[in-house]
Chains A and B, each alone.
Chain A
């Protein structure tokens, strides 16, 4: 069987030595250079692991990133990190603030991508946070409207995508987990912004849409100008198949989440096989990418490895059958 390519959504957990080093660096007890060395060590371990289990499209695991918005906010000249805001319970994050006109000045992700790609023969995805999500998850003290901010942010993300493509990245994933925040008011804007990002950039673009009311943006979601859209299928026990039966999944390939990123339990090979079989009833194998539901950074290193081994084993089993 051709197809059933495997990939992941982006983030992997940081090994203990790196988590400790990040804390030490934040306290000023460890130099930036020493931290970066450990980030590269952890990245190399994740690349080797993905190679070993036979994943087709690799990621660097975002070992140098904390939060997917804050990482870029810290790197951009017209954004800063604001005060702590509570997300739930006793959990807080520093919500970024847009303080001026957004512009790209230098590559933010190219060096780590190049390092990771240098370690493997298989392709490594460039990983970017999409313009709608960047703005939606930040305060805006500069722009008169969300539209103005999102479209300027789209040009920033586009410049970073160009830098990745020029460095040799063939695949770039632009994550838009916030895309269904206001589907009534803003979905067209999110699509327009992504069109700005990808227009004329020489790479294959993928996107990831996270938990939320996917049913509110399906099938409109298929208008996104990318060649693959991944969703958290496993978390909803593959209920999106019902949406796909009603309105066929047309255009882009599907990124089929088969591992629940928020569940400590490792899936069985059988349940992953069953999930993929369900997708095969709806789409040919060439149009199915198999991956986890979401980034895996909230799992432990061991849980992540176990889950991914199950995923690749399930795909091998299915391919062996044909």
Chain B
């Protein structure tokens, strides 16, 4: 049996390892005081990216991300690159004790230019293993934004999909072989606009149109109820499901269409409690009974930035060892 591909979702702690100086934080503080420049901050960010790609690879991750360590949050990172969108007040990020600045959409929407392409290039050059590019999904960006655009919700999602698709095509041209579209809002729809499956299918078709890369629909923080297996009808190559915070996703595995990849989130990205290798391995065997391992990628349940550096690394080591064990 092949070893399932070991990957991650997106964010990684940018905090230092125990005993090391927190240069990124102090450089940003110095910039606020006018004692450091953006170039100083960028240098500090570059160093953290080099560290975290190396750390993920050393832990056994075969497809890493740059840890999103240059982002304040995923919403503003992309909103800042779009015409017709401004950045508003602080809001809680789903059910986490972390915050994001809420985009305010006035429209019309267009991409000003490449948003994360340069930083993808940097990470790719710095990493010993392939790097996955991450782009926020249009539904989540629309659902978390304050709106003054006058559009139907579905029409807004489609406009955003068209703009984000340009970014994805540029990322593919820059060498990204895997591009994940993050759609956590699909798994936590409470209080958010109802996802309309047909409208989303149309928007996602526009999103992946012409994108020469393996595309991932990445959900997390819960299960995709009530959409269920409908998500598999959307035009992505791989589907990321959170099996930790979304136990309802378990029933979907057997419905995964042939030829599609499952990215299974099997260790808790939001709690420091370490899942031992054996426990992760038994979860993976359970997954393997439902989806052949050559079509399975394994990952934490969500980005790892919700915890400190050491527990994050230990989680990845446990995940990678378990993946090797079930692949033997």
Interface residues of A (CB under 8 A from B): 82-90, 92, 95, 97, 136-137, 139-141, 178, 181-184, 211-213, 216
A residues less than 8 Å from B273 (CB atoms): 139-141
Contacting pair B310 A83 (CB below 8 A) = yes
Q: Does the CB pair A84–B15 fall under 8 Å? A: yes
Contact B190 A139 (CB under 8 A): no
Q: Is B34 an interface residue (CB 8 A)?
A: no
Residue of A nearest to B309 (CB): A83
* B100: A residues at CB distance < 8 A: 88
CB of B233 within 8 A of chain A? no
Q: Which residue of B lies closest to A94 (CB)?
A: B308
Chain B nearest CB, measured from A116 CB (Å): 29
Most chain B Cβ neighbours within 10 Å, of A139, A183, A212 = A139
A-B contact pairs, 9 of them (CB 8 A): A82-B307, A83-B309, A83-B311, A87-B98, A87-B99, A88-B90, A88-B100, A139-B271, A183-B190
Question: If the complex has contacts A83-B310, A139-B271, A141-B273, are A88 and B25 also in contact, measured as CB distance less than 8 A?
Answer: no
Instruction: Tell me, yes or no, whether B28 is within 8 Å of chain A by CB.
Output: yes
A181 to B73, CA, bound (A): 19
The answer on a CB contact under 8 Å between A89 and B72 is yes
Q: Are A137 and B310 in contact (CB under 8 A)?
A: no
Minimum CB distance partner of A181 in chain B:
B95
A184 touches B307 (CB 8 A): no
Of the candidates A83, A97, A139, A211, the one whose C-beta lies within 8 Å of that of B15 is A83
Is the beta-carbon distance between B306 and A85 smaller than 8 angstroms?
A: yes
Cβ-closest chain B residue relative to A86: B305
- B169 interface residue per 8 A CB criterion: no
Q: Is the CB of A88 within 8 A of B99?
A: yes
Q: How far is the CB of A23 from chain B (nearest CB, A)?
A: 14
CB distance from B100 to the nearest CB of A (A): 7
User: Are A82 and B271 within 8 A (Cβ)?
Assistant: no
A88 x B308 contact (CB < 8 A): no
Interfacial chain B residues near A136, Cβ < 8 Å: 97
Q: A92: which B residues are within 8 A, CB to CB?
A: 15, 25
Proximity bits, B94-120, A CB within 8 Å = 1, else 0:
010111100000000000000000000
Q: Report the Cα distance A90→B14, complex, angstroms.
A: 10
Q: Which residues of B (27-81) have their CB < 8 Å from a CB of A?
A: 28-29, 72-73
Check A86/B15 contact, CB under 8 A, given A139-B273, A216-B191: yes
B255 contacts across to A, CB distance below 8 A: none
Which residues of A lie under 8 Å from residue B29 when comparing CB positions? 90
Q: Lowest 10 A-B CB distances belong to which pairs?
A: A83-B308, A88-B99, A141-B273, A139-B272, A90-B28, A84-B15, A181-B95, A137-B97, A89-B72, A182-B95
Interface membership of B18, Cβ < 8 A: yes
Complex Cα gap A182–B22 (Å): 33
Cβ–Cβ < 8 Å partners of A211 in chain B: 92
* Given A82-B308, A140-B271: A88 and B72 interface contact (C-beta under 8 Å): yes
14 extra A-B contacts, CB within 8 A, seeds A84-B15, A85-B305, A139-B273: A82-B308, A83-B308, A83-B310, A83-B311, A84-B22, A85-B13, A86-B13, A88-B90, A88-B98, A88-B99, A90-B25, A136-B97, A141-B271, A178-B97
The chain B residue with its CB closest to the CB of A143 is B273
A88-B73 contact, Cβ under 8 Å, with A83-B308, A137-B97, A216-B190:
yes
Which listed residue, A83, A178, A212, A216, touches B307 by the CB 8 Å rule?
A83
Q: Give the docked Cα–Cα distance between A213 and B15 (Å).
A: 30
Q: How far is B18's CA from A208's CA once the two chains are assembled, in angstroms?
A: 36
- Given the known interface contacts A139-B271, A139-B272, the answer about A85 and B14 at a Cβ–Cβ threshold of 8 Å is no
Q: Which of B90, B98, B191, B310 contacts A213 (CB 8 A)?
A: B191
Q: How many Å from the CB of A188 to the closest CB on chain B?
A: 15
Q: How far apart are the CA atoms of A211 and B13 in the complex, in Å?
A: 26
User: Closest residue of chain A to B97, judged by CB?
Assistant: A137
Cα A322 to Cα B280 in complex, Å, equals: 69
Task: State A137–B96 Cα separation when bound (angstroms).
Answer: 8
Specify which of B15, B90, B271, B308 lies most central, judged by the most chain A CB atoms within 10 Å of its CB.
B308
> Which A residues touch B25, using CB under 8 A?
90, 92
Q: A235: nearest residue on chain B (CB-CB)?
A: B89
- If A86-B14, A88-B73 touch, does A139 touch B191 (CB 8 Å cutoff)? no
Q: A178 to chain B: which residues have CB within 8 Å?
A: 97
- Given contacts A92-B25, A182-B95, is CB(A84)–CB(B271) below 8 Å? no
- B314: min CB distance to chain A, Å: 12
B76 nearest CB neighbor, chain A only: A89
Interface 1/0 per residue, B265-278 and A, CB below 8 Å:
00000011100000
CA–CA, A136 to B308, complex, Å? 17
Residue in chain A with minimal CB distance to B17:
A83
B75 to chain A, nearest CB (A): 12
From residue A217, how far is it (CB to closest CB) to chain B in Å? 11
Chain B nearest CB, measured from A180 CB (Å): 9
Residue in chain A with minimal CB distance to B100: A88
Q: What's the least CB distance linking B49 to chain A, in Å?
A: 16
Residues of A within 8 A of B97 (CB): 87, 95, 136-137, 178
A14 to B92, CA, bound (A): 26
A139-B90 contact in complex given A88-B73, A88-B98, A182-B95, C-beta closer than 8 Å: no
Q: A136-B97, A212-B92, A216-B191 are in contact. Are A85 and B73 (CB under 8 A)?
A: no
Residues of chain B with a CB closer than 8 A to A141's CB:
271-273
Q: How far is the CA of A82 from the CA of B13 in the complex (A)?
A: 13
Give B310's nearest chain A residue, CB to CB.
Answer: A83
Interface centre among A83, A87, A97, A139 (most CB of B within 10 A): A83
CB contact between A86 and one of B90, B98, B271, B272 (< 8 Å): that residue: B98
Residues of B near A97 (CB, < 8 A) are 272
Q: How far is the CB of A181 from chain B (nearest CB, A)?
A: 5
What mask results when residues 288 to 328 of chain B are scored 1 for a CB within 8 Å of chain A, else 0? Answer: 00000000000000000111111100000000000000000
